[in-house]
Structures are given as structure tokens and as C-alpha cells.
Amino acid sequence: MKGKKHMKIEKQQCYRVAAITLAALTLTTFARADAVVDWNIITGQTIPFAARPGGAPGLDYAMVNAAIHDAVQAYDQRFEPYAVEITGASGSPVAAVAKAAHDVLVARFPAQTASLDTTYNAYLASHGGLSQNDPGVSVGQLAAAAIIALRANDGSWPANPQVFNGGTEPGEWRPTPPAFAPMAVPWLGAVTPFTLKDSTQFRVHQPPPDLSSRKYAEDYNEVKALGALTNSARTLEQTDMAYFFADNAFLYWNRALQSIANTYLDNLGDSARLFGLCGLVMADGPITAWDSKRYALSPPLSAPR
């Protein structure tokens, strides 16, 4: 009986997650959308997530969102630009957004240039017959070029990445089941952050509690209780959150932002600001997390300046 009850609860939880996801996708697909949301969706379709494990996709999203932000700010002029201030903007902001995103994506994924070109040209044509001759294209081109240049030597995707297998002492990162694979993108902790002073700014300096301490026992029992497969102490909300993060968190977070923008925002500048700020945070979070994961081991990574 307990097993059947648990299965019923698990089904209810799955249905709840499916309903939440479906609602978000419905909003994204059928509610009003702007160019910022459109190109965030295109970005998610472009990133090869299988080849971008761990926190690596955050770098791609951040660069696209920063370029779009600066392109829109050239018209909006309400907020400080991130990489470049573009004066005398004219033409279509939609064309500027499309060009900014397109150029960053081509720079990040040159193998997809042809398909991105097709998507870009079709997008312009479907929005009032815009073309490459629109002055907004130059605005987007400048915004993209600035962020590409700014991130040219940020330490990402090194030619000969180090294989990192972690350690075995308390507090040291180690491979986890089922694959027990080395750390994904181990260089991420040394990448130049987008907003932080450096990747060590929020490094976790405190060592884990002693294995014989009461604190360790309390923490261990808490993880065991909340992480249990059956008779878990989790709430339904906590389980929903676990499902959310267990899959591709970058896609789900951006889908959530798309739904927020479609539902509550009706201004291109507000959308660009939302995705710009969140994109930078979602890149810096993994960067500083990866730094802390490697900090306990010697020699620690040093962040590039």
C-alpha cells in the first residue's frame, strides 16, 4: 500500500511539473512576443547543449543577451550599456536585435552560419519586410562586435583543457554516479566573469564540518531526509524545484523568462534589460561555483585578469 501511495504521489508531482512546463510553453508560443524573446528562443535552439556541458551554455546566453541589451539601449537610452555605447541609432530596433543576436551566435557557432543566416534573413523579412539595408542592422552589428571583442580572451574553451578528476578528502569535488566522469568544463572556474571582480569573489572559504561533529551529522541527515527516493521529507514544491534543476536548467530558466516577458512586459527595452541582467547572472553563478569546486585542491585555479 505504501508503495502504491508513493507512486500515486510521484505521478501527481510529475503531472504538476508537466502542467507548469506546458503553461510556460503555451505562454511562450501563443502570447505576444517581442524580438528579444524571439531571439532568446532561437539562441536556445542554436546552442548544442550536448557539446556544452555544465555551466558552459551560460557564457553563450550571456553574450547574446548583452549584445541585444546594448543594441536596444542605443534606442532606449534608459540604462547604462554593458560593452559599448552606440550613439545616433536609427532604423528598426527589431533589426538591431536580430543582427546583434545573429552575429554573436555565428561567432560562437561558426558551423551553423548558413542556418543562422537563413533564420536571420527570414526573420527580417517577416517583420515588415525589413532588410540588411535597414540602419538598425548597423546598430546590432556594433553591439555584437563589442561583446565579442570584450570576451575574446576570457579563458573559455582552452585549446588543451585539463582533465580534472577531483580528490578524495572531505570537501573535495569528486566524480559522481552513474558515470563517475571527470568534471565537465573544468576551466570554467578560471573564466573572466561578466560582472564580478573575479571568479574568486564569492569563493567558499569555509571547510566542511568535521566528520565527527554534530554539525556534520545534522547536515548529513538533512540531505538524506530530503533526498530520499521514498518517504522523503520534501514538500511538493521542493520536488518540483528538483525536477526543474535536474534537467537543462538553462533552457528552463530562459523559458521562464520568456513567459515573464510575454505575460508582463510590453516594452522592448524592458525585455532587453530583463534578459541582459539575468543572462549575466546565469553566467557568473556557474563561474564562481566552479571556482569553489576546485578551491580545496592544490594548486587552485587562478582567475585571468
List the chain domain ranges. 2-295
Radius of gyration of the chain (CA): 22
Instruction: Name the grid cell of 103.
Output: 552575429
Cell of 33: 512576443
User: Pick the residue with more confidence: 44 or 24?
Assistant: 44
The answer to whether 244 touches 18, Cβ cutoff 8 Å, is no
Lowest-pLDDT range of 84-93, 279-288, 291-300: 291-300
| Cell 552560419 belongs to residue | 113
Grid cell, residue 209, equals 564540518
Burial of 100 (0-12, 13-18, 19+ CB in 10 A): buried
Rounded CA-CA distance 222/225 in Å is: 5
- Peptide linkage before 110 cis (omega within 30 of 0): no
CB burial string 243-266: b at 16+ within 10 A, e below:
beeeeeebebbbbbbbbbbbeebe
Distance, in Å, from the CA atom of 263 to the CA atom of 266, rounded to the nearest integer, reads 8
Confidence grade of residue 274 (pLDDT, cut at 50, 70, 90): very high
Which pTM value belongs to this model?
0.83
Q: Give me the chain's average pLDDT, please.
A: 87
> Which residues have CB under 8 Å from 208's CB, separation 6+?
170, 171, 216
DSSP 200: T
8 A C-beta contact, residue 82 and residue 147: yes
CATH 3.90.850.10 fits 2-295, yes or no: no
SS3 state of residue 304: coil
For 149-206, write each residue's pLDDT tens digit. Answer: 999 999 999 999 989 999 988 888 999 888 999 999 999 999 999 999 999 999 987 7
